[in-house]
A and B are shown apart, each in its own frame.
Chain A
Amino acid sequence: MLSRTADHLYWMARYIERAENVARVLDVAYNMSLVQAPGQTEASLWEPALSIAGNEEVYREKYGETSATGVIKYLTMDEDNPSSIYSALQSARENARAVRVAMSSETWENINALWLEFAQFFGVDLSVGRLREFCDWVKSRSHLFRGVSFGTMLRDDAFRFIRLGTFIERADNTARLLDVKYHLLIPKVETGEALDYYEWGAVLRSVSSFEAYQKIYRDSIVPSRVAELLILRDDMPRSLHACFDEITVILDHLSGRHDNECRRLAGELHARLHYGKMSDIFAQSLHEFLEEFIERNNFLGVEIQRTFLNAHGA
């Protein structure tokens, strides 16, 4: 298929996944703010959301102090923030429009409908009570997108590039979420069960894994198990391991008989997740492990871009 087409499909999927993840982060921050524990400030509650999304400097310039109103505005509707839900969905739709014929017409119509529906939130102040509704809407549109593409598209390279974009983005987001939370929570690791329950519970909820945790461990929420669930377990659809199960298979398909750097990088990362032990990861320090993972995943993204998506051959 055309490199440009593949590029648009891949980024369309990444942007939708990104919008979903920002919505998840916001949703959790909002819930945390409702059960504000003693000693927590508004800034400390919303800071993590900002760190996960990145681009903190731009926020500071425009909004100054960390506040609920500011962070919500910045991460939802701010056109100047390339990671805002607005920007992500707009980019997703623009990418989709450029290659609408490469996907099933139902997939395209679904993304187009998403954009038309999005207009209902324009000009709405989301910080005063409609944030939940908004985040739910973003998540369900993202679910719909995955469902309709999965349910209607031919299993060809177009489909594979869409899936590839989804999982590269998702792995990045899960790792960031875990890293930021862990980093911020470390000083308070000893602060007792109740706070652990809420804070780590929030991390789990943000990746739809709260119920799964309860089902698997049937025990109190402790950080090391949360990390295990989101890093090493291959049956958790948002875990790093699950993402790389998908990524390696897709890259094998796309590469055919050719060996390339993408495959090697992905295989290497996959092996660490597949054969790795939680105790080793903690021995190395979780933060370092995640930081390295994010960097390597990023590097894989660059390599995918170079191998498949950037026009070559001239």
Chain B
Amino acid sequence: MAIALRRFMNKSNKSPFDEMLLDGNAVRSIYQSYSSWLKDNPYQQLESKRAEAELLFRRVGITFNVYGETAGSERLIPFDIVPRILDAKEWKLLSDGAIQRVKALNMFLHDIYHKKEIIQSGKVPASILRNSQYRPEMHGVDVPNEIYAHIAGVDLVRTGENQFYVLEDNLRTPSGVSYMLENRKMMMRLFPELFRRYSIAPMEHYPQVLLNNLRAVAQPGVQEPTVVLLTPGAYNSAYFEHAFIAQQMGVELVEGQDLFVRSNAVYMRTTEGPKRVDVIYRRIDDDFIDPLTFRPDSLLGVPGLLNVYRNGGVTLANAVGTGVADDKATYIHVPEMIRFYLGEEPILSNVPTYELSKPDDLKYVLEHLAELVVKEVQGSGGYGMLVGPSSSKKEVEEFRLRILANPSNYIAQPTLALSTCPTLVENGIAPRHVDLRPFVLSGKTVSLVPGALCRVALKEGSLVVNSSQGGGTKDTWVLK
């Protein structure tokens, strides 16, 4: 899972926006029915439901592997039984905004691997072509429907009633959708009465939408395209998700060793001999997908795959080379892309970002270092970053020296107060910070199902929602 910086601190003393409670402790209208239900259900009852959920998840094997540990000790991602609720209006804003963004990003990807008009126009600097995620191998390659990011996970955070920000666009192999689907199934099983109280938009058809989109991006002329899902294997931490989605779509779950390349086509090895493959939904990073082109030590990929791909013998989803568009250095330019390609104003805002390669920005950031979050352009997973408000003077000063040594290697953002959502914790219900990842699907059309993965930081006050740091997940309800 691509883990971006999540440690936005609450700068002011004012409490952050809460999804359920307004400042005066009044319940927001969409949570009123839930809130009254909550009053009728004592803590012990909720706790026993939570324990039941854990048991069920374990039995189904919705676990992720921790490398190096023995087989019995796979872990569960904690599931929280209090839903995150969004009304139809909020959802429309978020989904329109996410769709707009992904459309522009796909056009951007097509452009920078072809005519590079956005660079010629001066809207995006040419330095983007030197980004390590830019794949020169993709230059001039035409992909079906000009879609590069077939599956995009757009990470959103909220700071107020009408204030949403895009934290990052995940355009490589975004994960988490299986939790979105399984959480819904679990909630319906545990709390059927709540589903009678609320009119919740269904999103269980996600796999069908995905499959239809994947079929639509087969190379022209293919009649009945064969779609497969390529996984690194059972030891990958997201293996459950790969298996789950493949099963839900009714496609083969393959590993690199199951595929081979012959005369500009990809085949899978079956008990009845080789079978042609047309579309590969791959959950393996670019670097590992073809040992002949990228990392020669990779055993996960398929030798010769990239050549077939470049010659139009097979479709990869997502395309090779999408990483250049979800990079931190590129993120800054997404609003401009929306204006450039679509002629529209962005619906969703970026978190304001200072580019330290610009002298004015650098000056401002150095003066306000203790209030800001500073990230390395290429960094991820919270490494190589400074969270001003929670750092000591000494740490800030040390970081200042690192910035001065190479300013263009950094960006800075203000610390945001992520919204909180009521969450079941040890002694009852308490607010915890959340984010939201809807999945945008492109192929035949650009769309998303009304739902998202909601991640929650289970530790009090923590803004870190990723599972490797003790984050959990919630079901997200979009009201009709």
List the interface of chain A (C-beta within 8 A of B). 1-6, 90, 93-94, 97-101, 105, 108-109, 112-113, 115-116, 119, 157, 161, 254, 256, 308-309, 311-314
Contact = CB atoms under 8 A, between A and B. Distances in A.
B269 A313 contact: yes
Interface in B452-471: none
Contacts of B254: 2
A112 B59 contact: yes
A141 to B, nearest CB: 14
Nearest to A95: B234
B247 A101 contact: yes
Contacts of A113: 59
A311 B257 contact: yes
Interface stretch (B143-151, B164-172, B260-268): B260-268
B61 interface: yes
Contacts of A116: 58-59, 72
Contact of B258 (A2, A94, A97, A119): A2
Contacts of A94: 71, 234
26 contacts: A1-B270, A2-B258, A3-B269, A3-B270, A3-B271, A4-B255, A4-B257, A6-B271, A97-B234, A99-B253, A101-B243, A101-B253, A105-B247, A108-B61, A112-B59, A112-B61, A113-B59, A119-B72, A311-B257, A311-B258, A312-B269, A313-B260, A313-B269, A313-B273, A313-B274, A314-B262
Contact of A93 (B71, B239, B253, B271): B71
Contacts of B274: 313-314
B246 interface: yes
A233 B260 CA distance: 46
Contacts of B253: 99, 101
Interface residues on B, range: 20 to 34
Given A100-B61, A101-B253, A109-B59, A115 B71 contact: yes
B405 interface: no
Contacts of B255: 4
A101 B254 CA distance: 11
A90 B254 CA distance: 22
Contacts of B244: 101
A119 B58 CA distance: 14
Contacts of B243: 100-101
Interface in B231-289: 233-234, 239, 243-244, 246-247, 252-255, 257-258, 260, 262, 267-274
B401 interface: no
A175 B72 CA distance: 33
A157 B272 CA distance: 11
B383 to A, nearest CB: 31
B389 to A, nearest CB: 44
B307 to A, nearest CB: 16
**A-B pairs with lowest CB-CB distance, top 5:** A101-B247, A313-B274, A311-B269, A314-B260, A98-B234
Contacts of B60: 105, 109, 112
A257 B305 CA distance: 33
A97 B234 CA distance: 7
B92 to A, nearest CB: 35
Contacts of A256: 272
Interface of B: 58-61, 71-72, 233-234, 239, 243-244, 246-247, 252-255, 257-258, 260, 262, 267-274
A157 B271 contact: yes
Most chain B beta-carbon neighbours within 10 Å: one of A2, A97, A112: A2
Nearest to B253: A101
Nearest to A307: B271
Nearest to A108: B61
A98 B233 contact: yes
Contacts of B59: 109, 112-113, 116
Contacts of A1: 252, 270-272
In this complex, the member of B253, B257, B258 whose beta carbon has the largest number of chain A beta carbons within 10 angstroms is: B253
Contacts of B271: 1-3, 6, 157, 161, 254, 308-309
A113 B57 CA distance: 11
Contacts of A254: 271
Nearest to B260: A314
B73 to A, nearest CB: 10
B270 to A, nearest CB: 6
Contacts of A108: 61
A204 B60 CA distance: 37
Contacts of A157: 271
Contacts of B252: 1-2, 5
A290 to B, nearest CB: 31
A311 B269 CA distance: 6
A112 B234 CA distance: 14
Contacts of A312: 269, 273
A40 to B, nearest CB: 38
Given A2-B268, A115-B71, 8 more contacts: A2-B254, A2-B258, A3-B271, A90-B71, A100-B247, A105-B247, A115-B72, A313-B267
Nearest to A258: B272
A81 B373 CA distance: 54
A103 to B, nearest CB: 10
A4 B269 contact: yes
